[in-house]
Structure 1
Amino acid sequence: MPIASDPTADPVPEYAAWRTGVAGVLAKARRVDAADLPEDPERLLAETTYDGLTVNPLYTRRDERAEQPLPGTFPFVRGRDATRDVNRGWYVSAYVGAADAAAANREIMFGLENGVSAVWLGVGERGVPVADVPGALSGLLFELAPLTLDAGNAASAAAAQIFTVLDGYELSARKDIQVGLGAAPLTSRFASTDDVDLTEALGLAGQAIARAETVRAITVDGTVFHDAGASDAQELGAAVAAGLEYLRALAEGQDIADALGQLEFRYAATDDQFATVAKFRAARQLWARVAHVCGAPAFGGAPQQAVTSAAMMTQRDPWVNMLRTTLAAFGAGVGGADTVTVLPFDSALPAGELGVSKPFADRMARNTQLLLLEESRIGHVQDPGAGSWYVEDLTAALAAKAWEFMQEIEAAGGYQAALASGLIAERIAATRAARDSDVAHRKTAVTGVNEFPNLAEQPLSEAARQDARIARYGAQFEALRNRSDAYLAANGSRPRALLVPLGSVAEHNVRVTFIANLLASGGIESINPGPLAADRIGPAATESGATIAVLCGSDKRYGTDAGDAVDALRATGVVTVLLAGSAKAVADLTGAQRPDGYLAARIDAVAALSGLLEKVGA
């Protein structure tokens, strides 16, 4: 006879023991009594996203949600295609922007021979001339490799060229051909880029519906919101609002199923892998909900193209971008994106800036995906995150927050009205400011930029300027590095600061390392003479020629030695004396013995470093 379970019993009996363990560790780290911590001390370890979502340190059966339907079934959280070829996985896409048809064709054919399985072609001002589109696509087997156009205001003319080529196919072969015309008037308006207008896009959609191939005329490009600084929920919510605006316009002259069939979505994938997995799952759920409300839930599975984030890419130490794009491609693939495009690791820099060839950068981008697909076999399982308490919870929470933002846009009169009023831009700007602040305070690490910078890198050329449309995460620190490069060019050396290690290595090593890393992130070179006795501080300052010095030691050592060290430095003409740590460590010092500033872990590093560069004339 089965024993009835107790509905009041804790589903995770070990949780209480784990919580006690957390309290013990936190009490020791914070030097407090465990009894002084809250009853749920684990919440002190939780993180909050830019959308206000809480990411807990542990997920258990307490967080279990109802199982989602299988892939290919409404609401498509687990994937839009129930029969996707697991041996292929997602489509590996590469962007081709060559302005010469022959060069574009060579690039396309070479990519297809080496692992690319989908083509994204720039046309007009973004690539090959419209009249040369057939030549650029010569030899392409459309039924095997989906094609997406990026033609801007030349989309209609480019579509006409594509249709002419497709008309040469046998009618029976056309059902396997997939083409995206890439018209994106509403999202392009946000980014202030040229595109066809909405009326022309609707005309293209009418032509596409009449085709025997699977042709989608409109791309809802969420990456423009991401590149401006949007959070994940803001990117999804704004994209869904734009999609809804398209859908309303299309439904005036088309069947709702045909209208839904004219939209595809493009989203950014970042190196926050779990957030990216959840983003693509939530995006499908959101659009499926729209289709359901419109009475056509079976047609809510719109294709998704993932593009690795341009905002996360760095100009400094750009080789690290290979790691970023690997994580992003992994997240997008696991999240169920239909097509993934990995940006070359040097995409934030002008062509040739690093002295590496375009074929090399393209190969690294292509092989990033091929390693995931063919060696790690990531694509062999659809939605491997399904059932994960964390992934399922984050997916649901993100979808709910994105839906809220979409509703806010709708309440403002819809996407175009919210765009005109500035609502969308204002919300995104606030998120960008919060992220910039976290990077500036080094709460968010950008490896190679505000953490572990490499001052030995070659200075960037004058042409290496960031795209103003892209709110790159490391841009503030890279601007400081640009100032350092200019100082180097004018003076033959970088701005310098003298480190003044006080006491033994054990006393000062941690702060010496911290300060050297901090200064380098602003392009300031550290001069470290090693441990300095009191009578060596003055001579070391004179030898260095530096006008800025930073005392590095323990708080206890500051109490005995800092005042005399400051006096010694000022006597040699050092203009600015700083202390690694907080002001409370030298609270007893007065007058000229007090340092001029303090460099601690959570200061606004951008402001502090900018001030130091100004002091040395950079």
Structure 2
Amino acid sequence: MPIASEPAAESVPEYAAWRKGVAGVLAKARRVEIAELPEEPEHLLAETTYDGLTVAPLYTRRDELPEQPLPGAFPFVRGRDATRDVHRGWYVTAPVTSSDAAAANREILFGLENGHSAAWIATGERGVPVEQLPTALAGLLFELAPLTVSAGPAVGAAATRIFAVLDEYKTPDRAAITVALGAAPLTSRFAGVDDAGLPETLILADQAIAREETIRAITVDGTVFHDAGASDAQELGAAVAAGLEYLRALSPGRDIADVLGQLEFRYAATDDQFATIAKFRAARQLWARVAHVCGAPAFGDAPQHAVTSAAMMTQRDPWVNLLRTTLAAFGAGVGGADTVTVLPFDSALPVGELGVSKSFSDRMARNTQLLLLEESRLGHVQDPGAGSWYVEDLTAALADKAWEFMRELEAAGGYTAALDSGLLAERIAETHAARDADVAHRKTAVTGVNEFPNLAEKPLSEAARDSGLSTRYGAAFEELRNRSDAYLAANGARPKALLVPLGTVAEHNVRVTFIANLLASGGIESVNPGPLDVDGIAAAATESGAAIAVLCGSDKRYGTEAGGAVEALRAAGVGTVLLAGAAKAVADLSETQRPDGYLAAKIDAVAALSGLLEKVGA
């Protein structure tokens, strides 16, 4: 909350001067008088997240919140471990999914020798056969490298094998051995993935509690909500609701401290670095509050495992994913995640699609974290975002909104009831639809997909076109590109459109650039002959053979030249003539001189481009 003694903005000379500057820039950009702007014009620069949270353009001491306790103390906003080794930072890990035990063992040990500090192995139907787990784990120093397991329905059998391995393992400090068995019946059910049942998970938790090692049986996997399209608050709120369901199932007859010690959380980290920082800080605050309500605040420090978002990854221009995952890992690290996994940059594509080996992709993912830890030394400071007015405000606001969503699920009867009734899926689907609309209207940029696409990149294989997460942010545009690839394969060239610049470069350049970028995002190649007279326009149309043409110029130029250009294009056989801009620019033209449609900044680009592809037979 704001500090009560903080003076009003109007009485602070620096803030008043900044506000005046903002008003001047906005008035010029909007072509209005300063007096026509709101009293607080800076609010026009604010952004609203999918959770309805407002991100202001400037934060000052007026936004300052009370300082949170140090790491290791309730409510753990600043971190769960007061004595974390700053030279190690967070744990670096990656999933090992090989079905061959010897190969999996080599991969685990190679990773640990080359920068990993934790191991994550899949077993059962997801990886190494359960009976071969001892071979896969041979040589692992359990007290130095925490182990995470993904076993699905085989988690009980996997735990038995792991416990047998641990019984033979000699170490004076058994509590230093950390294992996450990964049972996730509640969140796996949301994702439609087979997992252990809840009764089996409770038995597994009892077995874990009885052991000397630090073993957590349950993983609350929030990434399944994120991958389905959830906002940050929805991901956190649903995860906390699932965690509460586990607590209720486990609590009878068990000590609450032991029960809380059986859960860890997994969340997605995205390339929105500040949102990611706030997410992990808010997540700890939320679970600490649950532990406090349960009467055990000191045990509300469940570990966090960050996995870079699968939904943000792209199949097109996938090398950009290297930058996305770097930002995501940065956000998770600064946010205080205990373990971080960076997905390979080509994880949305079949192995080998780009002509690079799996070992190369894995090395890039591993080195992304090592660069942050070893060269940027990001782990040398605990909670470096603390004290930032923006980060603290966003953390608090996100925690409040996530708690509100959790309470909505609780009011519906709890996590399972909300899942069964469809409420949880419905709420997430609403956010998914809103994000899809923003991407389709290019309000939200996906670099290399709906903005700055590389139309010259190699077409994807059929296997690649049929793979990947359907809720990836750029999926709708990438489907358009798939149609363009199919057209290219069938016709030897991509769908194309003729650009018709009108007037001087100063008049048409902005719209020519905009249209070329827009068309390319749908897999349509632009042909630009440069400014021409009416006869030249007709000749260019005939030469290009394009069935689509787009006029590009200033509104003023449209008033004098668009009509003639439209007639010339139609006479040359162009079936669809469009105009870059709004219909009002040619409102005075006759019906026969008006274009067939308009391509402006706020259109549904997916729908518009899909229609154009249909017109050319793609």
Same fold (TM over 0.5): yes
User: CA offset at residue 487 of structure 1?
Assistant: 0.7
Aligned residue for 1:305, secondary structure, equals strand
Question: Contact 1:310–1:470 at 8 Å: present in 2 too?
Answer: no
The corresponding residue for 2:349 is: 349
Aligned residue for 1:529, secondary structure, equals coil
Question: Contact 1:549–1:574 at 8 Å: present in 2 too?
Answer: yes
Residue ranges of structure 2 left out of the alignment (5+ in a row): none
The corresponding residue for 1:219 is: 219
The corresponding residue for 1:319 is: 319
Distance of 2:173 and 2:32 partners within structure 1: 72
The corresponding residue for 2:335 is: 335
The corresponding residue for 1:522 is: 522
The corresponding residue for 2:264 is: 264
Distance of 1:508 and 1:417 partners within structure 2: 57
Distance of 2:280 and 2:316 partners within structure 1: 29
The corresponding residue for 2:491 is: 491
> Is the deviation greater in 171-180 or in 482-491?
171-180
User: CA offset at residue 35 of structure 1?
Assistant: 1.2
**In structure 1, what residue type is equivalent to 2:51?**
D
Distance of 2:315 and 2:26 partners within structure 1: 38
Go from structure 1 to structure 2 and tell me whether the alpha carbon gap of 1:198 and 1:231 turns closer, same or farther (over 3 Å shift): same
- Runs of 4+ more than 6 Å apart: none
**In structure 2, what residue type is equivalent to 1:584?**
K
Distance of 2:480 and 2:429 partners within structure 1: 22
Aligned residue for 1:435, secondary structure, equals helix
Question: Contact 1:93–1:120 at 8 Å: present in 2 too?
Answer: yes
**In structure 2, what residue type is equivalent to 1:67?**
E
Whether 2:475 is the aligned partner of 1:472: answer no
Go from structure 1 to structure 2 and tell me whether the alpha carbon gap of 1:418 and 1:489 turns closer, same or farther (over 3 Å shift): same
Go from structure 1 to structure 2 and tell me whether the alpha carbon gap of 1:230 and 1:467 turns closer, same or farther (over 3 Å shift): farther
Go from structure 1 to structure 2 and tell me whether the alpha carbon gap of 1:467 and 1:221 turns closer, same or farther (over 3 Å shift): farther
Question: Contact 1:75–1:288 at 8 Å: present in 2 too?
Answer: yes
The corresponding residue for 1:563 is: 563
TM-score, normalised with respect to structure 2? 0.98
The corresponding residue for 1:121 is: 121
Distance of 1:192 and 1:546 partners within structure 2: 46
**In structure 2, what residue type is equivalent to 1:502?**
L
Q: How does 1:35-184 map to 2 (within 5 A)?
A: 35-170=35-170, 172-184=172-184
Question: Contact 1:498–1:549 at 8 Å: present in 2 too?
Answer: yes
Go from structure 1 to structure 2 and tell me whether the alpha carbon gap of 1:531 and 1:8 turns closer, same or farther (over 3 Å shift): closer
Q: How does 1:298-447 map to 2 (within 5 A)?
A: 298-447=298-447
The corresponding residue for 2:203 is: 203
Distance of 1:149 and 1:527 partners within structure 2: 53
> Is the deviation greater in 327-336 or in 497-506?
497-506
**In structure 2, what residue type is equivalent to 1:23?**
A
Whether 2:294 is the aligned partner of 1:294: answer yes
The corresponding residue for 1:543 is: 543
> Is the deviation greater in 136-145 or in 338-347?
136-145
**In structure 1, what residue type is equivalent to 2:54?**
T
Question: Contact 2:6–2:62 at 8 Å: present in 1 too?
Answer: no
RMSD: 1.2
Which whole-Å deviations, capped at 9, do the CAs of 1:307-355 have from their partners, x for residues lacking one? 0000000000000000000000000000000000000000000111111
Which whole-Å deviations, capped at 9, do the CAs of 1:371-407 have from their partners, x for residues lacking one? 0000000000000010110000000000000000000
Distance of 1:373 and 1:7 partners within structure 2: 40
Which whole-Å deviations, capped at 9, do the CAs of 1:136-163 have from their partners, x for residues lacking one? 1111111111000011001011111111
**In structure 2, what residue type is equivalent to 1:216?**
R
Which whole-Å deviations, capped at 9, do the CAs of 1:203-254 have from their partners, x for residues lacking one? 1100000111000000000000000000000000000000000011111131
Aligned residue for 1:464, secondary structure, equals helix
User: CA offset at residue 466 of structure 1?
Assistant: 5.9
Aligned residue for 2:330, secondary structure, equals helix
Aligned residue for 2:219, secondary structure, equals strand
Aligned residue for 1:264, secondary structure, equals strand
Question: Contact 1:230–1:429 at 8 Å: present in 2 too?
Answer: yes
Distance of 1:468 and 1:321 partners within structure 2: 14
Question: Contact 1:348–1:466 at 8 Å: present in 2 too?
Answer: no
Aligned residue for 1:204, secondary structure, equals helix
Go from structure 1 to structure 2 and tell me whether the alpha carbon gap of 1:492 and 1:465 turns closer, same or farther (over 3 Å shift): closer
Distance of 1:512 and 1:272 partners within structure 2: 30
Aligned sequence identity (%): 82
The corresponding residue for 2:278 is: 278
Question: Contact 1:267–1:306 at 8 Å: present in 2 too?
Answer: yes
User: CA offset at residue 46 of structure 1?
Assistant: 0.2
Distance of 1:405 and 1:532 partners within structure 2: 58
Question: Contact 1:498–1:541 at 8 Å: present in 2 too?
Answer: yes
Aligned residue for 2:172, secondary structure, equals helix
Aligned residue for 1:167, secondary structure, equals helix
Distance of 1:610 and 1:8 partners within structure 2: 54
Distance of 2:107 and 2:144 partners within structure 1: 17
Aligned residue for 1:194, secondary structure, equals coil
Aligned residue for 1:549, secondary structure, equals strand
Question: Contact 1:550–1:580 at 8 Å: present in 2 too?
Answer: yes
Which whole-Å deviations, capped at 9, do the CAs of 1:454-486 have from their partners, x for residues lacking one? 111111111114667651000000000000111
Question: Contact 1:171–1:212 at 8 Å: present in 2 too?
Answer: no
Question: Contact 2:348–2:469 at 8 Å: present in 1 too?
Answer: no
Distance of 1:170 and 1:129 partners within structure 2: 25
User: CA offset at residue 425 of structure 1?
Assistant: 0.2
User: CA offset at residue 10 of structure 1?
Assistant: 3.5
The corresponding residue for 2:234 is: 234
Question: Contact 2:234–2:402 at 8 Å: present in 1 too?
Answer: yes
Go from structure 1 to structure 2 and tell me whether the alpha carbon gap of 1:433 and 1:542 turns closer, same or farther (over 3 Å shift): same
The corresponding residue for 2:596 is: 596
Aligned residue for 2:331, secondary structure, equals helix
Which whole-Å deviations, capped at 9, do the CAs of 1:544-598 have from their partners, x for residues lacking one? 0011000111111111110000000000110000001111111111222110000
**In structure 2, what residue type is equivalent to 1:395?**
T
**In structure 2, what residue type is equivalent to 1:60?**
T
Question: Contact 2:311–2:469 at 8 Å: present in 1 too?
Answer: no
User: CA offset at residue 18 of structure 1?
Assistant: 1.4
